[in-house]
Structure 1
Amino acid sequence: MHYKKIIREYLNFNRAERRAIFVLILISILAIVIPSILAKFKNDKQPSTAKLEAVKILLAKSDSLKIYNENNDDIIDENNLFYFNPNTATINDWLALGVNETVAERIVNYISKGGKYYQQSDLLKTYGFTEKDLERLYPYIVFENIDQNKFVKNNSADKINVLENTISISPFNPNTISKEQWVELGVKEYVAGRIINYISKGGKYKSPEDLLKTYGFEQKDYKRLKDYMIFEEIVISETEQINQNNATAEKQITEINAATKDQLIALGFSNYNANGVITYRESLGGYYVLDQLKDVYKMDLQILDAALPYIKIDNSKIQKININAASFEQLAKHAYISDAVAQAIIDYRNTSGKFIVISELQKIKGMYANTFEKLKPYLTI
């Protein structure tokens, strides 16, 4: 049995060799089994091409709807809008009106803490409430309880009736009322701003139809307000007025920030320019340098040069704006502050807190260096 001895000796392994053989066998088994397990797992977990395409389509629709909601106000069907009081509307009401949920929560939170909105433009004070939202919802905002069933929501004539029922209208001169008064009459705030800006530069409305030349002034507002508009008549020509005043009035030193129309006319200004000086003075809050008079719309520079020796300025009469306390309306009313800059100031205060120094205003978007220098004498903190 010599061959058995040979085989026994050949298959006789020491401890280290047996361990190595065991490891090799284990590795071999794993090499065979693992690929089949992975293949099964892959087949179970990998979705079919059809499923992948379906998911892609759903995601694309979801993204497009999200973008459309965020960037396109028209996604809210106007026929679904309704009349509402911003002081009593719930979060669900605001969401139904297309307002961002975060903004809706801010509004309701503000009301719950005792806040109150008194006019449509007050909503712009709420951080995140945009001018587009205000423009879209403006005709539906009311500040007293009404029976919504009395009004057909998609009928423009009924919108006019609502405004007439909620706004008391008295005769007015379009050339003399303030921006706030236009807003109270139901005119959109940015349109009211354009009207005041036009008048502050010397423009004048001579008939109700002239208002339609102002970009954004709507036919419905024209029809609603035209019968209440009154206009001054020019009795004599401006040339005659100048000649009469030069001949009969002795020029006296006049403080420009307190001057009346008659005093300005006595200095040689035309009726038109005298009105322009006063209107522009009101939009500025007072003059602080004589050169500002050259910015009056259609100012007769020859007459101005002749009048300058008789004009003085009292800077103490300048009405200053507290940039830490002024409302959007107070800021936007100033001739050097646009609506966009006014809103940017409000937004900055809401996010960064009060201004520490006036120069900090230069951080505001749209506040250019030359504008800041002109505006600086009118600011305080």
Structure 2
Amino acid sequence: MSIKPNHNYLDFTRKDRRGTIALLLVILLIAIIPFVYPLLIKKNSTGGVNFDATLASLQTKQTLVRDEKYADNNIKAGGNYYRPPSSGYPSYKKRNEAELFNFDPNTLSEEGWKKLGLRDKTIATIMNYRSKGGKFKQAEDIKKIWGLFPDEAAKLVPYVNIKTSDAGTAAKNYSNNFSESKKYDPTKSYAPVDINVSDTSAWIALPGIGSKLSQRIISFRDKLGGFYAVGQVAETFGLADSTYQKIKPFLQVSGDVKKININTATVDELKKHPYIRYQLGNAILQYRTQHGNYKSVYDIKKIMIMSEDIFNKLSPYLAIE
């Protein structure tokens, strides 16, 4: 009986066929890479140009969005502060374009104030003060106008030109009910006055202070939440610097001031403070809404509308808890 030879060693199993095909594909891929690679490099290079163009376009759009969302800073040159969407919050009004020229604050018209760059509310405050007989005695007096920022006042002071006749009658229009017979005697000693606890009678006892002016000082003190420095008394509206210099040696300060929690205060609470008002109060609230509670009082310096001068004046009245 003859034996039939076994030829199975010439057959491929399914697994062998798959392996062979995979090997052929790898060999083919290696063979065509030198031809395809230069084409891929060229295509990617073109894509990079398109990417740069796209990036430039996106940056332009981002600038436009930023300009719509942020308003020009009224305090610190080159900065921006947050402008809330018009749907949820009132928009900040852009400051009038300033045109500086010599002017008399006692006679300048509303249009004149607008040319100087003042806002409508600030102009209304000035006109209301003048309508009640108020007068500006010296250039520095415009720094006491409510709503006028320190940097604005600093720009305007060199251009103030008060007529002699106005300056001569200003004392009467600045009326503090000071009797002409109550002359100042530089040799006389007056009882010390604690500016945080004194009443109107204590103020009236000082040279140059009448009943109305004493009431203004106390009203200003109450709105602030107390004085932390004697120099703050000089900021009282209607108090001439010459009068302040006379009473300064007899003033002293004690006690703590009332603080505002900037993590819980509302805009209505913030705007009542003479150093804050609505614009800054709203910016403080919006920053808190955007970034969460303040970790430190110094965090409000990150608000671009907050100048160094305002922060130094305001910080003693702020707290975070």
Q: Same fold (TM over 0.5)?
A: no
Identify which of structures 1 and 2 has the higher relative contact order when contacts are C-alpha pairs closer than 8 Å and 6+ apart: 2
